[in-house]
Structure 1
Amino acid sequence: MFVVTPFEMRKIDQRAIEQFGIPGIVLMENAALKVVEVVDRVYRLKDRDRVVVLVGAGNNGGDGLAVARHLFLRGIDVEFFLLAREDVVLGDAKVNLDVVKKLGLSLSLVQDEDDILRLEQSLKSATLVIDAIFGTGLSRPVEGIFAQVIELVNRVAVPVVAIDIPSGINGADGHVMGIAIRASHTVTFGYPKRGHLLYPGRRYTGELHVVPIGLPLDSAQSIGVQAFTLDVNEAAGMLKERPAEGHKGTFGRVAVVAGSTGMTGAACLCAMAALRSGAGLVTLGIPASLNDILENKLTEVMTKPLPDNGTGCLQEEALGDILDLVRDADVLAIGPGLGKSGAVFEVLRNILGRTHISIVLDADGLNHISRDINLLKKHSGPVVITPHPGEMARLTGLTVAQIVQSPVEVAQKFSQQTGVVVLLKGATTVVCHPDGQIYLNTTGNSGMATAGSGDVLTGIIAGFIAQGYEPFDAAVLGAFVHGYAGGLAAEVHGQAGMIAGDILETVPLALKNMYNLLGKHCKSWSHGI
């Protein structure tokens, strides 16, 4: 599904109102009904339950007032608190304010310390809180009475359903604007917002419910939205069918150049992940003095000893053998565990300048290429890079803090500058195409923050490219499958004790589940290519 910014969402709403004549009050009413549906499904409120609705002056507050009305008319004890003067509530929100006042709902204004105390007493006896203070357009820090109310709600142990986005979260980037509501559930309209999926906003959002409110079906496409995310059905729709008459060559050849003394595990994980993701043949180029170890560890992966002068590290003399290795391959995965040897840079420089092969570049490969990122621009074939924030810092000259603060902007800018697909790893992994497409991945868990996890991801992406997926699609699908497999592994092992090998072993099950979905009811997912 598409993912929008608050600015894009305003354009979508404006188009629906002005071009199609859908009144704003109708969209507000539809939104309120959908929020009530979620509340009914999750909490199954009864007559004795009490709901406190926190209302701001804008359209988000109007949504909250409409929700309060519907709950009240169902016999629920509803009290709403208005965090503004009545005279500043305008437009569609005022229409709903006038209605709930005429219906006789309990209204309290929150403007001073006494009002805060009254709200606290009400919250202590509440079953549920509806957060309709701020919407997705918040652009300034939360201060004053608003901050006091949010702090109070977070302190009182009552579940919160946020309307559109938890108040205090920036809808564009997920930043906390001073303080923010910690929601149990968030109901958003039309499309998820970037602030729902990027941390820390994702943590404050709780369970996200994306609901339709009657917008034209082509709304996102019509204004050129380029960001998207996938659920498991949509990801399954990206999978290619595997022809019954296929053979090893049908499913592609992967060359892997990886490993050095002390880091043979990275090479093994990467090579096996390429096989586990469906590639037909995988050959691992490994420093010759380590070849016996890899021959012992790997059964299905072929190995190619590379001259290393007994060092256990890649040497420049290996370049000719590596060029031979990639000549018959569909994709090269290079970098995991290669170490700090200066020969790695020379090998990369020559590969990028002398071949046309698709390349997935990770780990030590990225650290070396950071010496001259212009080499990425010179490669005539597709390149996918898979940095974590530390590696991205070396590539860009930014600090890790700057990258974590603005992952989408950093990845998108680097992708457009260099012409490569950038997969920036994180709790929400970001994948950017040079043409501006952005994928936000939400699969995975903290158990995947373990040595070797990234090597598995590199192998999965290479395996998909070998099978004929476009590099961007391979990176998107690879990120999804990697995280999905991590979720399956966590179900067995728990997050604290997971290791990269657990992720590797569940990749086949992840793909099996997805292919089963594809066979049952999935349609191919298009994200605007």
Structure 2
Amino acid sequence: MKLLSPHQMQEIDRRAIEENKIPGILLMEHAAYQIFSYLLEEDEGKQIMIICGPGNNGGDGLALARQLTLWSKCEVKVLMAARPEKLTSDGYVYYDICNQLQIDMMQLEEDNKEEFLNQIDHADVIVDALFGTGLKRPIVGIYEEIITRINQCSNKVVSIDIPSGVDGLTGKVQGIAVKADSTITFMAPKLGLYLYPAISYIGELRVVDIGIPKRLIEETKVTTYSIGREEMKALLPERPIRSNKGAFGKVLTIGGKLGMAGAITLTSKAAYQVGCGTVTAMVPKGIMEIIQNKLTEVMAIGAPDKEGHFSKMATSTLKEILHLYDVVAVGPGMGREKDHLDLIVEILVSDKPCVIDADALYFIPEVLDILKVRKAPTILTPHPGEMARLTGSSIQEILDNPLEYTINFAVKFNVITILKLEKTIIADTRGNVYINKYGNSGLAKGGSGDALTGIITGLMAQNMDPIDAAKLGVYLQTRAADLASKVLSEYSLLASDTIQFLSKAILELLED
């Protein structure tokens, strides 16, 4: 699904009104009806408090007040935080209608601020109609006090289009923002709703149709997309009846050292769990017995080692066997000994698609010139700390501008880049970016990155387009984590549990 900027959505609104002759007031009515329908699912007959600000957002709230008054059993009250003249012309029409219907409305004045704020506590549901997606200035003064009071109360909070105070483009908070239980956004999700910290404010996100021709969204050129279940279902590799293990690809995983054998074990298991034909783990000879005891289905090759990690001679072993495999994963549990640089170079100068993760990423700044001219598909999977090292930036700079850094690195060095965050960001080599909405805090544990590397590698081995393998891999891991956490909790979830639940995430796609 496309993720739109506020400016793009405003342009779509303009085209709907000017080119398609759809009155703006009709769009406002449709928007209100979608929120009305949502509220009636659980909140029929309850006390609804609608807090209206300026512009169209306040108008949406007033249109909702009209519908609830006429067509529901709810007790409706409107708090007007903005002066009526600050509404759009369409919004003012609904203000007049609400007055004609004698809806209980309280206008904020200089002498009634405390009484106004106290009203916020006296409702079952608060509808946030203060500010929309185009807000660019910090929230101060009375609006800051209103939002503070909303966030302090225990009432259910529903935000119209976006929680007030959240930047619709960057996801950043303009000083303070409403913490909603639900956000009802119109026609398409806004980019900022998928970014941090906005994801901590939106609650349940619903995208609703308000009658704008879908053609206008289809004609809008974007480079930002969300990862959705329907798209992922279409990406699942086919499983022909007449086939053998070779038909589903041969994976080589490279990593592990004494004390860190578990990482390459997780990578290898995960590759198998998503359907590839064979997996071979190349590990230091000193941990061969550990690997073979842990892995039943995975074949293992012991490479020359020194003090439990790959020695310089391990590159010779890799040269002898690399041609036998379709895709390579390198890095999990490997360690950062200087002898490993030659291994990384050997992979980069080969024609094998590869996924580079964990300790292998440590060496990438030394071989960026090789990476940039590499022809075979390459996927890097850094977390913010690793991304900071790759780009020569600070971790805070990465966290403040994750899209910019991920896209720029992917395009500059011709590699698919997966930045592992609260909601993972995937950038392709053309500057397109895909943001995943699934996953939970249970993934913030050792081994999750190793498992993701195996999942993506296993999918690539099945002749998937690399960017599709990246998207599907991220989706499957995070969806598996969501399913597993319902049984085990986010506290107890381990990377190995997520691997076990990959089958359920796949079955869910097959059964939808």
Deviation at 1:397, TM superposition (A): 1.4
Distance 1:148 1:96 in 2: 26
Whether 2:130 is the aligned partner of 1:133: answer yes
Q: Which of 70, 73, 76 is the aligned partner of 2:67?
A: 70
Partners of 1:257 and 1:286 within 8 A in 2: yes
Distance 1:12 1:314 in 2: 57
Q: Superposition pairs for residues 408-487 of structure 1, below 5 Å?
A: 408-487=403-482
Q: TM-score, normalised by structure 1?
A: 0.94
Partners of 2:59 and 2:88 within 8 A in 1: no
Partners of 1:11 and 1:223 within 8 A in 2: no
Partners of 2:345 and 2:367 within 8 A in 1: no
Deviation at 1:111, TM superposition (A): 4.1
- Counterpart of 2:99? 101
Q: TM-score, normalised by structure 2?
A: 0.97
Q: Superposition pairs for residues 45-56 of structure 1, below 5 Å?
A: 45-46=44-45, 49-56=46-53
SS in 1 for 2:460: helix
- Alpha-carbon spacing, 1:344–1:165, altered in 2? closer, same or farther (3 Å): same
- Counterpart of 1:520? none
Q: Superposition pairs for residues 247-396 of structure 1, below 5 Å?
A: 247-308=244-305, 310-353=306-349, 355-396=350-391
> What CA deviation, in whole Å up to 9, does each residue of 1:49-92 have, x standing for no partner?
32211111111111111011101113432221222222222322
Whether 2:159 is the aligned partner of 1:165: answer no
Whether 2:84 is the aligned partner of 1:89: answer no
Q: Superposition pairs for residues 184-263 of structure 1, below 5 Å?
A: 184-263=181-260
Distance 1:356 1:23 in 2: 57
**Aligned structure 1 segments of 4 or more residues deviating by more than 3 angstroms:** none
- Alpha-carbon spacing, 1:382–1:125, altered in 2? closer, same or farther (3 Å): same
Letter in 2 for 1:401: Q
Distance 2:184 2:32 in 1: 10
- Counterpart of 1:525? none
- Alpha-carbon spacing, 1:56–1:379, altered in 2? closer, same or farther (3 Å): same
Partners of 1:52 and 1:81 within 8 A in 2: yes
Distance 2:108 2:371 in 1: 57
Deviation at 1:125, TM superposition (A): 2.1
When structure 1 is superposed on structure 2, of 339-348 and 129-138 the one drifting more is 339-348
Stretches of structure 2 that go unaligned for 5 or more consecutive residues are none
When structure 1 is superposed on structure 2, of 388-397 and 230-239 the one drifting more is 230-239
Deviation at 1:388, TM superposition (A): 0.5
When structure 1 is superposed on structure 2, of 56-65 and 456-465 the one drifting more is 56-65
Between the two proteins, the alignment pairs up a number of residues equal to 511
Tell me the percent identity. 38
- Alpha-carbon spacing, 1:350–1:213, altered in 2? closer, same or farther (3 Å): same
Partners of 2:334 and 2:359 within 8 A in 1: yes
Whether 2:153 is the aligned partner of 1:174: answer no
Stretches of structure 1 that go unaligned for 5 or more consecutive residues are 518-529
Letter in 1 for 2:259: G
- Counterpart of 1:401? 396
Root-mean-square deviation (CA), in Å?
1.5
Distance 1:210 1:89 in 2: 24
- Alpha-carbon spacing, 1:17–1:325, altered in 2? closer, same or farther (3 Å): farther
- Counterpart of 2:501? 506
Distance 1:396 1:336 in 2: 21
- Counterpart of 1:14? 14
Partners of 1:53 and 1:129 within 8 A in 2: yes
Distance 2:109 2:199 in 1: 30
Letter in 2 for 1:434: T
Letter in 2 for 1:489: A
Whether 2:42 is the aligned partner of 1:42: answer yes
Distance 1:41 1:185 in 2: 13
